[in-house]
């Protein structure tokens, strides 16, 4: 298509200097112009729309949205209403069984060289019980550091971040490697100051084999010092893992076509905060993008989903991948992290086609979209990617290493600038439209496994029980 021709289904070019269609125009060319004008109008209204902020306000005011909780169910109802208001059709709750983890009290007591108590929070799927032992400081908690540290029978202390220039090492890998090496328990230390103990799941939908807690950077500094002095601690955790139920909220936009795109974001959050950044911004971005797409003349159907239980094991996305006819799913756009900070990041997960779509939208709109090609298994695209479905994960960075306020008490609405939500929603709609008209080949299993190995994820995925048997 020539750049001067009108585009159907959300035109991403600037309208400056364009003339609208004449009132008495007739025929296909006039229809195309009208479609372009309608698409631009939907994009333009988004600049001043206050509904994203109102939705985010209602979502964060719920409080605890932990997977399987009453708060998550209330959030699902809110998402369903927002989808319907945005023009999404046939909105339904798809329920599924899961293992609900319920938090009780956590105690961290220094027993030697003196007695002292520190604030700590249990990490999801931590079992109830007690653990005690000498402290062992494993630094960043990389496998090499744990291997170089005598951790047998000890309580390992490790940071939430990783060394500059190294690969990302997830908490599940750090925890798994420490316990496999004989550690008695695990203490996860936030690298962000502010007395903010971090949370984050230890396993996917199952109880972990050992106790693990999160502590603040300030507490971690003390524990590292006491480790050098032969310090000993005692951990006590009250928690319960029990059968529960969660739900995905699913609807459709556009025509009923043989092929469809899937646009999704998780709406659950950890129980210790409002979950405004993670992932209130993401689900608000999807609701806003859906409103734009509902006014577009789409040539391909789009399934829109708010998924539950991402934070404790991607269970909602896994259930969705098992339920949908994946042969019909052309590609997945997972909005996890978009809307938080200024510039959009597109994680292409080893797909040249999704990378090309993001590049074209960035060039046409003259909006920066940073590309990351390496895959990872720690967000809702993973249940689809491992089955060969191409994906984009839309994210945004603060410019600092690590989660920042995420997974802490400080993940609250006041951290959000909803201009980012609205702008990223427009870009999300444009990316969906671009993927709809692009050739998007399936991912090759062997090439995908090689990409994960090249990104040095195999060892960590095996430690966390995530390496697919089909890749053996």
Which of 1-10, 28-37, 239-248, 444-453 is predicted least confidently?
Answer: 1-10
- CA distances 152 to 31, 179, 186, 261, 291, Å, are 72, 9, 12, 49, 55
One domain for residues 430 and 295: yes
In a domain, 143, yes or no: yes
In a domain, 21, yes or no: no
Task: Output the pTM of the full model.
Answer: 0.92
Where would I find the beta strands (DSSP E) of 43-190? Answer: 89-112, 116-118, 121-122, 129-137, 155-159, 185-189
One domain for residues 273 and 404: yes
Say whether pLDDT at 214 is over 70.
yes
Confidence of residue 403 (pLDDT cuts 50, 70, 90): confident
Say whether pLDDT at 463 is over 80.
no
The pLDDT of residue 17 is 39
Q: Please give the average per-residue pLDDT across 21-25, as a whole number.
A: 46
Report how many domains make up the chain. 2
Q: Please give the average per-residue pLDDT across 97-120, as a whole number.
A: 97
One domain for residues 61 and 206: no
One domain for residues 315 and 435: yes
One domain for residues 354 and 407: yes
In a domain, 306, yes or no: yes
- Domain C-terminal end among 193, 209, 242: 242
One domain for residues 341 and 373: yes
In a domain, 256, yes or no: yes
One domain for residues 166 and 302: no
Higher per-residue pLDDT: 134 or 458 = 134
Say whether pLDDT at 19 is over 50.
no
> In this predicted model, what pLDDT tens digit does every residue of 280-304 receive, in sequence order?
999 999 999 999 999 998 989 999 9
Q: Please give the average per-residue pLDDT across 203-210, as a whole number.
A: 94
The pLDDT of residue 465 is 80
Say whether pLDDT at 472 is over 90.
no
Say whether pLDDT at 5 is over 60.
no
In a domain, 392, yes or no: yes
Domain coverage including residue 211: 101-242
Confidence of residue 39 (pLDDT cuts 50, 70, 90): confident
**Strand duo 185-189 + 301-307: pairing:** unpaired
One domain for residues 301 and 180: no
Q: Please give the average per-residue pLDDT across 83-108, as a whole number.
A: 98
The pLDDT of residue 61 is 98
Say whether pLDDT at 253 is over 60.
yes
* HSE, side-chain direction, 13 A CA sphere, residue 238: 4
Q: Please give the average per-residue pLDDT across 443-468, as a whole number.
A: 89
Say whether pLDDT at 334 is over 60.
yes
One domain for residues 326 and 341: yes
Q: Please give the average per-residue pLDDT across 169-189, as a whole number.
A: 95
Confidence of residue 462 (pLDDT cuts 50, 70, 90): confident
Confidence of residue 368 (pLDDT cuts 50, 70, 90): very high
In a domain, 381, yes or no: yes
Rounded CA gap, 162 and 214, in Å? 16
- Domain C-terminal end among 212, 242, 272: 242
> In this predicted model, what pLDDT tens digit does every residue of 300-324 receive, in sequence order?
999 999 999 999 999 999 999 999 9
The pLDDT of residue 408 is 96
One domain for residues 285 and 310: yes
In a domain, 3, yes or no: no
The pLDDT of residue 16 is 39
The pLDDT of residue 41 is 87
One domain for residues 261 and 233: no
The pLDDT of residue 38 is 62
Rounded CA gap, 306 and 266, in Å? 5
Residue 23's Cβ-count burial label (10 Å; 0-12, 13-18, 19+) is exposed
Q: Please give the average per-residue pLDDT across 414-431, as a whole number.
A: 97
Q: Please give the average per-residue pLDDT across 380-386, as a whole number.
A: 97
User: And the tokens for 357?
Assistant: 């779509």
Say whether pLDDT at 29 is over 90.
no
In a domain, 225, yes or no: yes
- Domain C-terminal end among 242, 268, 299: 242
Rounded CA gap, 432 and 288, in Å? 13
- 299 in Cβ contact with 437 (< 8 Å): yes
Rounded CA gap, 188 and 175, in Å? 9
Rounded CA gap, 246 and 70, in Å? 9
260-271 as b/e, with b when 16 or more CB fall inside 10 Å?
Answer: bbbbbbbbbbbb
Confidence of residue 224 (pLDDT cuts 50, 70, 90): very high
- Which of the 8 DSSP states describes residue 276? I
Whichever domain contains 433, its CATH number is 3.40.630.10
One domain for residues 361 and 416: yes
> In this predicted model, what pLDDT tens digit does every residue of 155-173 receive, in sequence order?
999 999 988 888 888 999 9
Which of 93-107, 366-380, 387-401, 425-439 is predicted least confidently?
Answer: 387-401
Nearest to 122 by CA among 31, 212, 197, 234: 212
The pLDDT of residue 401 is 65
> In this predicted model, what pLDDT tens digit does every residue of 44-64 receive, in sequence order?
999 999 999 999 999 999 999
């Amino acid at each position: 298509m020539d750049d001067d021709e009108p585009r159907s289904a959300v035109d991403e070019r600037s309208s400056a200097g364009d003339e609208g269609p004449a009132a008495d125009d007739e025929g296909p060319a006039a229809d195309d112009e009208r479609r372009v004008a309608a698409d631009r109008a939907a994009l333009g209204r988004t600049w001043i729309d206050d509904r994203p902020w109102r939705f985010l306000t209602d979502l964060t005011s719920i409080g605890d949205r932990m997977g399987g909780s009453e708060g998550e169910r209330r959030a699902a109802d809110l998402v369903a209403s927002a989808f319907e208001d945005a023009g999404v059709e046939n909105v339904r709750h798809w329920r599924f069984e899961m293992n609900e983890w319920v938090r009780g009290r956590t105690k961290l007591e220094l027993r030697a060289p003196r007695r002292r108590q520190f604030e700590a929070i249990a990490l999801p799927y931590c079992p109830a019980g007690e653990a005690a032992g000498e402290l062992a400081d494993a630094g960043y908690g990389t496998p090499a550091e744990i291997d170089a540290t005598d951790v047998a029978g000890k309580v390992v202390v490790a940071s939430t971040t990783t060394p500059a220039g190294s690969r990302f090492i997830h908490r599940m890998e750090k925890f798994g490697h420490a316990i496999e090496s004989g550690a008695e328990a695990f203490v996860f230390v936030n690298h962000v100051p502010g007395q903010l103990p971090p949370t984050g799941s230890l396993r996917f939908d199952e109880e972990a084999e050992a106790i693990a807690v999160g502590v603040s950077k300030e507490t971690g500094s003390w524990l590292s010092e006491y480790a050098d002095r032969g310090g000993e601690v005692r951990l006590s955790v009250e928690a319960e893992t029990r059968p529960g139920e969660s739900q995905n909220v699913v609807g459709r936009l556009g025509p009923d076509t043989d092929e469809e795109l899937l646009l999704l974001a998780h709406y659950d959050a950890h129980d210790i905060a409002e979950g405004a950044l993670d992932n209130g911004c993401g689900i608000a971005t999807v609701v806003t993008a859906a409103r734009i797409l509902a006014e577009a003349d789409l040539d391909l159907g789009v399934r829109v989903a708010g998924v539950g239980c991402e934070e404790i094991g991607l269970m909602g996305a896994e259930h969705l991948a098992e339920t949908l006819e994946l042969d019909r799913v052309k590609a997945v756009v997972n909005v996890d992290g978009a809307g938080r900070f200024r510039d959009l990041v597109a994680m292409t997960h080893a797909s040249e086609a999704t990378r090309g779509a993001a590049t074209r939208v960035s060039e046409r709109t003259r909006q920066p979209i940073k590309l990351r090609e390496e895959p990872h298994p720690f967000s809702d695209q993973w249940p689809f990617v491992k089955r060969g479905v191409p994906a984009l994960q839309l994210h945004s960075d603060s410019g600092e290493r690590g989660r920042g306020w995420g997974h802490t008490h400080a993940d609250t609405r006041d951290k959000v600038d909803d201009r980012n939500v609205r702008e990223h929603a427009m870009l999300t709609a444009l990316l969906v439209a671009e993927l709809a008209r692009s050739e998007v080949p399936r991912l090759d299993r062997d090439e995908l496994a090689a990409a994960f190995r090249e990104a040095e994820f195999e060892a960590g995925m095996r430690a966390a029980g995530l390496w697919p048997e089909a890749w053996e």
